[in-house]
Amino acid sequence: MTVLMGGSAIAKDQKGGDEDDKDTSSSGLANLYIDFRTNYAYVPGGSLSTGLGDGSLFATLSQLATLRKLLGRPALPGRPQLSAPTNQGVGVDVPLTVDLGEALSLYGGFTGSASYKSASGWSDLAVTSWFLGFQADVYRQNGGAIPTLTLQSTLTRSVPDSLLATTSFNTVVEAKYALDPDEMRGWLAGVQYTHVEIDSALARVGDTTAGYLGGFYQWDNNWKVSARVGLQSFAGAQLLAVAPIASYTQPLVRLDLDRMDDDDNRLFGVTAQIAWAPKPVYQLTVRTPLYAIKD
C-alpha cells in the first residue's frame, strides 16, 4: 500500500508538472519587449530618404519630413525646380512588441526625431509619428524544399495632424531558404512596397518599390550577419505648382549584424544601409531590445 500510494503521488506530481509546462507553452505569449532602435541618417541635397526599413520605417519618415518642409515653402519666381536640402537626422523608435509564438508578432509605438540645420544646429527631440504593424510567417520551411515566407506590414501616421499630414503603408514580403536543419545559413529574397497618402489634394508622393537578394550566416557563438543588395524605384512627387521631383531607379545595400541567444531572440543589433536616392543616403540603426518577458 505504501509503495502504491508513493508511486501514485509521484505520478500525480509529474502529471501536474507536465500540465503546467503545457499551459505555459500554449499560452501563446512568447516574448514581450520594447524593440528600442536608435537611428541616424544623412541625406545629401537633391535626394530623398528611401530604402529598406523595418519597424517604424525611419527612412520613410525622414523622406516625409523633408517633403512636408518643401510643401510649406512658397515657390520662388523663376525657380525651375524645388529640390530637397541636405539633411541630417537622429531618431528613436519605441515599439512595444508582442511575439505570439514563433510565427506572429504584433507591434505598436511612436517615433521621436530631431534634425540638423547648418544655420540653427540641432532641433529639439519631438514625437513625429506613431505606428502599428505585424509580422507573420505565412509558411515555414522546417527542413523542406519550400522557403519560409514572411509578411510584414506597417501603418505609420505623422503627428501633429495638419493639412500636410501623411500616412504611410509599408509592406515587405521576404523568402528565407535555409541550407541546414538549424537554419544557421541560407539565402534571402524579398520585395518592399511603400505607399504614401498626404492629407491634401495639392501634393502627391509616388510609391516606392524595392527588390533585393541576399544571404545570412550565424556562428555557433550566436553572432549573425545578413546582407541584402537590390534596386529601388521611386515614382516621383508633385509639390504644389512647382516642377515635380523626378522619379528614379537606383541600387541599395544593407548589412545587419545581430547578437542572438540560444532561442534565436535578438539581444543586440546594428544595421548599416546605403541607398542611392539618387545620391548616396547613409543610415545607421542600433537595436537594443528591452525584454519584459523572454522565451
pLDDT in tens, 209-257: 999 999 999 999 999 999 999 999 988 877 666 656 788 899 999 999 9
Q: Which three cell numbers stand for residue 157?
A: 501616421
Domains and CATH numbers, the chain: 35-293 (2.40.160.40)
Helix/strand/coil for 68: helix
Around Cβ 216, how many Cβ atoms within 10 Å?
A: 20
Low-confidence ranges of the chain (pLDDT < 70): 1-28, 46-49, 53-85, 119, 239-244
Peptide linkage before 181 cis (omega within 30 of 0):
no
- Which residues are CB-neighbours of 14 under 8 A, at least 6 positions away? none
pLDDT at 151 (0 to 100): 97
**In terms of Cα–Cα distance, which of 286, 251, 281 is closest to 87?**
281
pLDDT at 73 (0 to 100): 44
CA atoms of 135 and 190, how far apart (whole Å): 14
CA distances from 248 to 77, 81, 242 (A): 27, 16, 18
Asked whether 50 and 234 are in contact (CB, 8 A), the reply is: yes
Asked whether 209 and 182 are in contact (CB, 8 A), the reply is: no
CA distances from 18 to 108, 175, 294 (A): 34, 36, 20
Residue in this structure with the C-alpha cell 525622414, named with its chain if needed: 62
